[in-house]
Chains A and B, each alone.
Chain A
Amino acid sequence: MNYQSEVSPDARKFKSIGTRPLRPDGLDKVTGKARFGADVSAPGMLHGVILRSPHAHALIKSIDTSKAEAAEGVHAVVTRADFGSDFDNPDVMDNVMAGKKALYDGHTVAAIAASSEAAARKALKLIKVEYEVLKGVTDVDAALAPDAPILHEDMVPDGVDPAPTKPTNIAHRHEFGHGDVDKGFKEADIIIERSFKTEAAHQGYIEPHACLATLGSDGRGELWCCTQGHYYVRELCADLLKIEESQLRVTASEIGGGFGGKTTVFIEPVALALSKKSNRPVKIVMSRNEVFRASGPTASSSVDVKIGVKKDGRITAGFANLRYQGGAYPGSPVEFGAMSAFACYDLENVKTVGYDIVTNRPKQVAYRAPGAPMAAFAIESVVDELAKKVGMDPIEFRLKNASSAGSKSSYGPTFSDIGLALTLETAKNHPHYSAPLGPNQGRGVACGFWFNFGGQTSVSLAVNADGTVGLSVGTPDIGGSRASLSLMVAEEMGVEYEKVRAIIADTASLGYNDVTDGSRVTFASGIAAIEASRNACKVMCARAAKTWGIPEDAVVWEDGHAKPAGSNAGDFKPMSLVEIAANASSTGGPIAGHHEINADGAGVSFSTHLADVEVDPETGRAEVVRYTVFQDAGKAIHPSYVEGQFQGGAVQGIGWALNEEYIYDNEGRLQNPGFLDYRIPVASDLPMIDAVILEVPNPGHPYGVRGVGETSIVPPLATVANALAAAAGIRMTDIPMSPPKVLKAIDEAK
């Protein structure tokens, strides 16, 4: 759909949109009543626990569960043998429960359901697994070495020319770009080539994965779990358990953070299998240790960048070779990395090549703008250096090369109206950019891009007899979407925000809904909610028309009232939603609206970040002392939650930039599976994060919405690195920029 005519300036004055009402789920969340994944139980419930491989790479020779099965309190034990074969999602199956090999430290090998967690844990120790330990590899570059251990004997990558004759750890090769980069580099006056690495980061949601499952021998079941997409959970579980989708009802709990990490299944199929075997409800809650070892952190990366410029600051060519390891199975986000790397720049000659590589680490899952932050770190670091080399202000340099409406993007499409230049110009004129810096402080700037997604969405709403509206959506609310969707319905129907009650419906209640990801909910569920509202308003117009005895098309909906379309239609007093709702039973029965779409036109998003970083020259410790985010939101529906997305993403990026990392020992065992040594930022590490919302409307949405959830994590790695470069005169190419590395760089620069 194109809503160009609706989003043009002055097309409409909003009443509800842009206000900041309290969120509908707020009271439950400040009083402890909200029910998250681990907060429910069921009569007769058993507790499930999981046995995990202590080895990074090992053949599973045999598993003896007999002693565990006989242990006190144990009701069921499952291994891979309890699952079938021929799956639509074989890698998901193998990741959920290891088959022939354990492919990473923490890989599930068996599971037990017992009457108490303590009994289950005790019995876990009685399972005997015979492993043949193999050599493993966790580093992305080491996985490409000629003598590297091979994870999958049948893996021969596509897209590689000439096609390899032997199995490798490369799953896929991707290439994007246009023009002739060789020609472009010949035209350049200055060329900078650098290599960068980023370590894997974890989404770090505070709520561990949790679920409560029942599945009977009749193939009927129910599942309660914390997920970003309960329909997708249903699809995967139905495949893995060989049951019909209609027979499994999945309800999404309140979700304690996800950031992409709760977009697949880990424990859910295991709990269902245990439930089926025991004929009892089974609850599984991951420990924090399990979350780090065996859920889905993001990829680690190794990236080579080459960019050439003319003396006047115009980029002549850009090239990047990106290698991302995505853990034990194909699917690293390198394709997104290769697509997004140069998206901020309007380039004649650009080429990116990406390699999706497997290693003995947990299979990566999406993490906020998956793949983009690593690429942006590399590109924006080199851009910063180039600006300095040609003697230009870093914002001016970016403005000179910035993508704008009509630019052919590095990944193919041509951009329409985009907000990149606006974010840069606003940053340039913001007081932050000209504020004085203290000793050992430096200022950094970087840009970021994210595609944003639409996708399949189904929404239903009902107009109740008392004039209130019930809104059912199928996209779990991860950061305030019940508020933003209610605002859109309120705006459209002309009712007060408080009259709309939004819920996340279960999988039995609506058509399919894609996962809450890709910054898609306020956009796609928003369109569906608006269109569903319009459908309901049409019904209400028809009811008024019936009452008045005039044709349906002679009635329009305005300000919460059905009104005659014009003087020709007749002279009737406008009929309010409340009146129509009250009379619904006598005018045709219940009034409802629904809408189903596969939304496109999500509208790309850009941002510019500014950071002031202070470095302790004697310890290498870097502290962010001021930070400002400038991002195009298209249209901010609930500005507080838009700011929250900007701030939260920026801080996740700051954590990744400075201290967060997966640390493996030589045997491939994770050394820091806890919040003590996986160091996410704490409150005292940070300043306030200023959020500046800019609005370049997206014609793909009736109100101009662009997704806002992800772009904010793209620039911080480079923003902080560029600030560090300004503060200490060092160019860090290795993320995280932890104190030992920074101190070493400072000492070497002396």
Chain B
Amino acid sequence: MRYEAPETIDAAVTLLAGEKGVARVLAGGTDLIIQMSGDMIEPDLIVDIKRIPLLKQISEEDGGFRIGAAVSGAELGEHAGVCALWPGVVEGVELIGSTQVQGRATLVGNLCNASPAADSVPALVAANAVARVIGPKASRDVPVSEIATGPGKTSLAAGEFVESVFLPARPDRSSDAYLRFIPRTEMDIAVVGAGVSLTLDENDVCTDARVSLGAVAARVLLVEEAAKALIGNKIDDKTLDNLAAAASAAATPINDKRGTVEFRTKVSGVLAKRAATIAADRAKGKK
């Protein structure tokens, strides 16, 4: 195995495109190194992208934020701008692993690891975030919901990697929230995750919403029926019950060591409801 730490994006692209064997991008490494030591993968090349300055940056762009692929969870959580605009995305990222893992793990890595239970992805999908994919050909912008195609599988072609994720600007009285269910208070993989992003008008009626669920299907789900339950309504008990029913109906989970079909289906609704309540409270707090 070779380890390379290029200092430019071009150099990284050249290295990855030139590798005939298995190549992997290393940013935080909190998934990659476990997979290597667990003999799940044996890469021939590892490209450490943390020495590429652009990828370590969070930059303002069109009223939104572009988050580089090598920005750690801890760095993201310290960025006041992103925390104010997309608190749900930040809380999703901050739920990944421990404080120690936060020191390394990245939002882009969490996205590209393509776990259906990834904590940052439901909030990203709800946020309609866009990933910038770079590779030997031209770079392309892809909705984050199209990066993962199944557990551990992505739509990235050989030699491609995600350079950054863009979180767009949003109207006033908008906010988001992410909640997950785990048996402990920390250190677990989500049994169910729910992200809600919404906008309210002056009368607290929801005018726009996106609802997503994690860990209840082979990939993170965008649940349009659940969003419909919110749009055009005040976030009251009846609306929330409709939202919960729509979320539970959309879940197609499996039984595994972390939860049962029955449990995940029910809790999908519970979490969607609670996340919507938090998102709405946050939106109202933004005058």
Show the binding face of A for B, using Cβ within 8 Å.
289, 618-621, 623, 658-659, 663, 671-672, 675-677, 679, 681-682, 684-685, 738-740, 743-744, 747
Report the minimal beta-carbon distance from B116 to chain A, rounded to whole angstroms.
16
Residues B262 and A685 in contact, CB atoms below 8 Å apart: no
Sample of 10 A–B contacts (CB below 8 Å): A621-B183, A659-B183, A659-B184, A676-B189, A679-B184, A682-B185, A739-B181, A739-B191, A740-B263, A744-B262
Q: A619-B267, A619-B270 are in contact. Are A740 and B186 (CB under 8 A)?
A: no
Highest count of chain B CB atoms <10 Å: which of A621, A672, A740? A740
Complex Cα gap A672–B258 (Å): 10
Which residue of A has the minimal Cβ distance to B187?
Answer: A682
CB within 8 Å of A: which B150-193 residues:
181, 183-189, 191
Complex Cα gap A621–B188 (Å): 14
Report the minimal beta-carbon distance from A674 to chain B, rounded to whole angstroms.
9
Residues B270 and A618 in contact, CB atoms below 8 Å apart: yes
Which residue of B has the minimal Cβ distance to A738?
Answer: B183
Contacts of A682 in B (CB 8 A): 184-187
The reply on B20 being an interface residue by CB < 8 A is: no
CB within 8 Å of A: which B259-274 residues:
259-260, 262-263, 266-267, 270
Complex Cα gap A268–B159 (Å): 47
Complex Cα gap A747–B266 (Å): 11
Which residue of B has the minimal Cβ distance to A616?
Answer: B270
Contacts of A659 in B (CB 8 A): 183-184
Report the minimal beta-carbon distance from A388 to chain B, rounded to whole angstroms.
28
Contacts of A738 in B (CB 8 A): 183
Residues B187 and A676 in contact, CB atoms below 8 Å apart: yes
**Which one of A289, A619, A740, A747 contacts B260 once the chains associate, using CB atoms below 8 Å?**
A740
Which residue of B has the minimal Cβ distance to A289?
Answer: B38
Residues A619 and B181 in contact, CB atoms below 8 Å apart: yes
Complex Cα gap A744–B267 (Å): 12
Report the minimal beta-carbon distance from A295 to chain B, rounded to whole angstroms.
19
- Chain B at the A interface: mostly helix, strand, loop or mixed? loop
Contacts of B185 in A (CB 8 A): 623, 682, 684-685
Report the minimal beta-carbon distance from B22 to chain A, rounded to whole angstroms.
17
Residues B257 and A679 in contact, CB atoms below 8 Å apart: no
Residues B263 and A681 in contact, CB atoms below 8 Å apart: no
Complex Cα gap A620–B259 (Å): 12
Residues B181 and A621 in contact, CB atoms below 8 Å apart: yes
Contacts of A685 in B (CB 8 A): 184-186
CB within 8 Å of A: which B200-227 residues:
none
Q: A618-B270, A619-B267, A619-B270 are in contact. Are A679 and B183 (CB under 8 A)?
A: yes
Complex Cα gap A108–B191 (Å): 33
Complex Cα gap A679–B260 (Å): 17
Residues B263 and A744 in contact, CB atoms below 8 Å apart: yes
**Which one of A620, A671, A684 contacts B186 once the chains associate, using CB atoms below 8 Å?**
A684
Complex Cα gap A744–B260 (Å): 10
Which residue of A has the minimal Cβ distance to B255?
Answer: A740
| A-contact bits for B243-258, CB 8 A (1 contact / 0 none) | 0000000000000011
Complex Cα gap A672–B191 (Å): 15
Which residue of A has the minimal Cβ distance to B192?
Answer: A619
Complex Cα gap A685–B184 (Å): 6
Contacts of B257 in A (CB 8 A): 663, 671-672, 677
Residues B266 and A743 in contact, CB atoms below 8 Å apart: yes
Contacts of B262 in A (CB 8 A): 740, 744
Complex Cα gap A684–B184 (Å): 8
- Give 10 A-B pairs besides A619-B270, A743-B267 with Cβ atoms closer than 8 angstroms: A618-B267, A618-B270, A620-B263, A672-B257, A679-B183, A682-B184, A684-B185, A685-B186, A739-B183, A740-B262
Report the minimal beta-carbon distance from A552 to chain B, rounded to whole angstroms.
63
Contacts of B267 in A (CB 8 A): 618-619, 743
Which residue of A has the minimal Cβ distance to B37?
Answer: A287
Complex Cα gap A151–B191 (Å): 36
Contacts of A681 in B (CB 8 A): 184
Residues A743 and B184 in contact, CB atoms below 8 Å apart: no
Contacts of B188 in A (CB 8 A): 676-677, 679
Which residue of B has the minimal Cβ distance to A684?
Answer: B185
Contacts of A747 in B (CB 8 A): 266
| A-contact bits for B31-60, CB 8 A (1 contact / 0 none) | 000000010000000000000000000000
Complex Cα gap A681–B185 (Å): 9
Contacts of A679 in B (CB 8 A): 183-184, 187-188
Complex Cα gap A675–B34 (Å): 13
Residues A739 and B263 in contact, CB atoms below 8 Å apart: yes
Complex Cα gap A330–B260 (Å): 33
Complex Cα gap A679–B263 (Å): 18
Residues A743 and B263 in contact, CB atoms below 8 Å apart: yes
Report the minimal beta-carbon distance from B187 to chain A, rounded to whole angstroms.
5
Q: Top 4 closest A-B pairs, CB basis? A: A740-B263, A684-B185, A618-B270, A671-B257
| A-contact bits for B272-283, CB 8 A (1 contact / 0 none) | 000000000000
Complex Cα gap A685–B189 (Å): 15
Complex Cα gap A677–B117 (Å): 14
Complex Cα gap A684–B257 (Å): 22
Which residue of B has the minimal Cβ distance to A672?
Answer: B257
CB within 8 Å of A: which B77-120 residues:
none
Complex Cα gap A623–B270 (Å): 18
Report the minimal beta-carbon distance from B110 to chain A, rounded to whole angstroms.
15
Which residue of B has the minimal Cβ distance to A622?
Answer: B183
Contacts of B181 in A (CB 8 A): 619, 621, 739
Complex Cα gap A540–B196 (Å): 79
Contacts of B184 in A (CB 8 A): 659, 679, 681-682, 684-685
Contacts of B263 in A (CB 8 A): 620, 739-740, 743-744
Contacts of B38 in A (CB 8 A): 289
Contacts of A620 in B (CB 8 A): 263
Contacts of A677 in B (CB 8 A): 188-189, 257-258
Complex Cα gap A667–B189 (Å): 24
Residues B187 and A658 in contact, CB atoms below 8 Å apart: no
Complex Cα gap A204–B187 (Å): 16
Report the minimal beta-carbon distance from B205 to chain A, rounded to whole angstroms.
26
Highest count of chain A CB atoms <10 Å: which of B38, B188, B263? B263
Report the minimal beta-carbon distance from B198 to chain A, rounded to whole angstroms.
21
Complex Cα gap A347–B175 (Å): 63
Complex Cα gap A658–B184 (Å): 9
Complex Cα gap A621–B262 (Å): 15
Report the minimal beta-carbon distance from A123 to chain B, rounded to whole angstroms.
14
Complex Cα gap A432–B200 (Å): 45
Complex Cα gap A331–B65 (Å): 61
Contacts of B187 in A (CB 8 A): 675-676, 679, 682
Which residue of A has the minimal Cβ distance to B258?
Answer: A677
Report the minimal beta-carbon distance from B33 to chain A, rounded to whole angstroms.
14
Which residue of A has the minimal Cβ distance to B261?
Answer: A740
Report the minimal beta-carbon distance from A238 to chain B, rounded to whole angstroms.
35
Report the minimal beta-carbon distance from B278 to chain A, rounded to whole angstroms.
15
Contacts of B258 in A (CB 8 A): 677
Which residue of B has the minimal Cβ distance to A739?
Answer: B183
Complex Cα gap A744–B262 (Å): 9
Complex Cα gap A349–B181 (Å): 47
Report the minimal beta-carbon distance from A300 to chain B, rounded to whole angstroms.
16
Contacts of A676 in B (CB 8 A): 187-189
Complex Cα gap A671–B181 (Å): 20
Q: A677-B257, A740-B263, A744-B262 are in contact. Are A658 and B186 (CB under 8 A)?
A: no
Contacts of B186 in A (CB 8 A): 682, 684-685
Contacts of A658 in B (CB 8 A): 183
Report the minimal beta-carbon distance from B234 to chain A, rounded to whole angstroms.
22
Complex Cα gap A46–B257 (Å): 37
Complex Cα gap A658–B181 (Å): 15
Contacts of B189 in A (CB 8 A): 676-677
Which residue of A has the minimal Cβ distance to B259?
Answer: A740
Report the minimal beta-carbon distance from B10 to chain A, rounded to whole angstroms.
33
Report the minimal beta-carbon distance from B195 to chain A, rounded to whole angstroms.
17
Complex Cα gap A739–B267 (Å): 10
Report the minimal beta-carbon distance from B102 to chain A, rounded to whole angstroms.
14
Report the minimal beta-carbon distance from B247 to chain A, rounded to whole angstroms.
13
Which residue of B has the minimal Cβ distance to A620?
Answer: B263
